[in-house]
Chain A
Amino acid sequence: MSQDKEPLFSAKNMRLLKEPLDDSNPITVQVLGICSALAITVKLEPSLVMALSVIFVMAVSNVVVSLLRAKIPPRIRIIVQLTVIASLVILVDEFLAAFAYEVSQQLSVFVGLIITNCIIMGRLEAFALGNKPWPAFLDGVGNAAGYGVILVIVGFVRELFGSGTIWGYQVIPETFYSVGYENNGLFILPPMALITVGIIIWVQRYRNRKLIEERQI
């Protein structure tokens, strides 16, 4: 490949970083990593912590696998990849338990489930195995950030309508409650996360017409 003399932030590399934010967003377009994304978005704080953890795991695992790409025998590559991911996730898990105990309790099993987050496996398979470490790093950060953006939006909407707070601070004034406003309890429950993401997809595709799916009969 002729990437040797390329500047670090060439247009091509920047595209790796930007595209996953909209045109090839892991959640709304590639349909990856939805599993763990939805359950922890009741509040903004765990959503952000989860997004940061995934950015870390994805960036580092992409670089590691990209460095090892010539040495991994194709037959056992899935197990090698899972081992790399699992070791990084153990690091994140222990770190959260030590420094952010309350958040790690809220996230419960979902930190462990980063291992099976299909964005990470998917990008390792599709990108890191065939590219140099630096583009692989950018691709990892970009895709994890695209995932994180959706997480933060959903977390924001659900916390605002479900609990009337943002980051734990009351934002809906008391006077609203005294004239009869009530928090919408449905937003705290799991199904509303799905519907929120459905609406995000709707808005995104309304603005970005080329993403609209073909009608198939």
Chain B
Amino acid sequence: METFANLAAGFGNALTPINLAWALLGCFLGTAIGVLPGIGPALTIALLLPVTFKVEATGAFILFCGVFYGAMYGGSTTSILLNTPGESGSIITALEGAKMARNGRAGPALVTAAVGSFVAGTVGTLGISFVGPLVVEVALKLGPAEYFSLMMLCFVTVSAVLGGSALRGLTSLGFGLMLGLVGIDLQTGQPRLTFGVPELLDGVNVVLVAVALFAVGETMYLAWRHVEGGQVVRPIGKLWMSASDWRRSIGPWIRGSFLGFPFGVLPAGGTEMPTMLSYYAERKLVRPEHREEFGTTGAIEGVAGPEAANNAAAAGILVPMLTLGLPTSATAAIMLSAFQSYGIQPGPMLFTQQAALVWTLIASLYIANVMLVVLNLPLVGLWARILKIPTPQLYAGILVFATIGTYGISNSVIDLVLLYGIGIIAMFMRRFDFPTAPVVIGMILGPMAEQNLRQALTISQGDWSTFLTRPISLFILVLAALALLGPRLWGVWRARRAG
């Protein structure tokens, strides 16, 4: 019950007018900047780092937490409306969200994302307060072998549940794996697949590829199939969610939150894996009468689940950062450096040495979460109006923003060549019915899987059976095999029973 006393003291500190003002400023800045394509929470907090010289620690961290949560809320907006995700966690949201927006359901998609973020933020913040330290203990027991198995599970889920064809899905995955290989090999320091271009030594940026696949490729495909004179203004439709939308969203919100948080806490978790798993889980779990909406008109489950998973994982990332001093995302790394600039070292001792600061910070996360949902719901109508822009100006604007988001980060024409080149490939992928999501999945998880494979084999001195002799790893691999073969065996069994 010590937690409750601590939390009450934290709320006491966080609810002072000045700290509330910091939280509001952070939420506002975070949402506004999160909406911009190509700029995520990490860059925003990095730009705000100089305030640490002028503001006392509590205020600064309340500001950062507001920005952090706010950018998560804002990131889904461009994904849904413009199909241009700003950070890797909201890439999956674009899959169904953009389709919903195109079919006059932008309002419900934005609302389910905002409310889902609130549910997940609450679950995640409760998790930080109560179970965080326990989860960290478990997370420390997972080694490279377990992480490799976990990634194999992700690959298998993707290829096993893909809509159209496993062949085309695997080809997309392979293309993503290849893009992920570009750059310096982390273990030996050798350049790979760079073709002598120095700009490629750092690898290919995932957000660049996502923007190329979704925004640039889509724009090109629309030009390919453009009919002169056939101007269609896209419908905005109803802004608020219907009763059926609420019923369909509640399950995904809760499942997404509980899927996302543990992943965020894992030292190699991040927001990408839980959003993908949530997407594919919802696609499997959706009621048969709505199954057709996935990949066609856009299913609300496919926005609610991944968006909740994204926010819960983002909250979870704070757990290893605060309790172990271990940043697992770029944002957490920058927040860690902010702690250090105050002479505070996050780690197991933080909760005892800086109890007042930590609990004020956690209390302000609850406050930021409430502020954000209040701030964002009225904005839905305003954002949805973006869709009223006529097609030529809208797509010209999307291309200009895709360009500025890419060029602004690196100032390199090579990145623009990649952006447009991958965009052309994405246009043909759309034409020949290749799914784009596995490209992103392969690109993000491929390098992580390779590192974990090599580390696991180095630890086991080259013994490949390490993946089967470690119980957790074996369990995950069995799960992967079930995911691959389960539905097929189930189908055979049912066919036999029916026959």
- A complexed with B: no
Q: Which residues of A contact B (CB under 8 A)?
A: none
Q: Which residues of B contact A (CB under 8 A)?
A: none
